Amino acid sequence: MAAPRPTPEDELARWETQLRKGGLGLAVLATLWPGRLYGLEMLRRLEAEAGLSVPEGTIYPLLSRLKAEGLVDAEWVEAAAGHPRKYYSLTGLGRARVREMAASWTSFARGLDRLLAPFMGDDQ
């Protein structure tokens, strides 16, 4: 028996998910631009400023990958909260990469905006 055909809504949701996943690395790096943060602070910034609700169990594996790529650094700091926290910060390579990624993203988004303008009402 053939699997049920995905509905247009399912297809759209899948496309949206892929789009967000593509930008997640940039978004996580961008949260660190102003300074070092620990995991939960990053999640809260992503949600508050970019509307991205990242599953909590996946942020640390993603950060460990970024660390292995040399884009972020991490250090344990004894906190006033009573337990140590692992703070992440951008390395020099990470700062350069986030600039390049942001430039690519902006250029891509501007191009797409021009293409979409006729039917998004921007030309009226």
Partner 1 sequence: MTRDAAMAHLDTYLLQVRRHLKGLSQAEIHEVLEELRAHVLDRVEDQLTPKAVEAALEALGSPRDVARVNVTERVAAVMEANRTPLGVLAAVVRLASLSVMGFVVFMVSLAGYGLAAGFLLVAAWKPFDPDHVGLWRVPDPNDPFNFVLGVMLPRPDGVELLGWWIIPLGLALGLALGYLTWRFGVTCVRLMARAGRRRPAADPVRTEPAV
Q: Which residues bind partner 1 (CB under 8 A)?
A: 16-17, 20-21, 24, 38-40, 47-58, 60-62, 64-65, 67-69, 76, 81-86
Residue 123 C-beta: closest distance to partner 1, Å: 26
Rounded Cα gap, residues 101 and 103, in angstroms = 5
Smaller CB separation from partner 1, 52 or 102: 52
Q: Six-digit token pair at 97?
A: 């990469």
Task: Please report how close the Cβ of residue 66 comes to partner 1 at its closest, in angstroms.
Answer: 9
Nearer to partner 1, 1 or 80 (CB): 80
Residue 24's contacts (CB-CB under 8 Å, 6 or more residues apart) are: 52, 54, 62
| Shortest distance in whole angstroms from residue 61 CB to partner 1 | 4
Q: Report the residue number, 11 or 69, with the smaller CB distance to partner 1.
A: 69
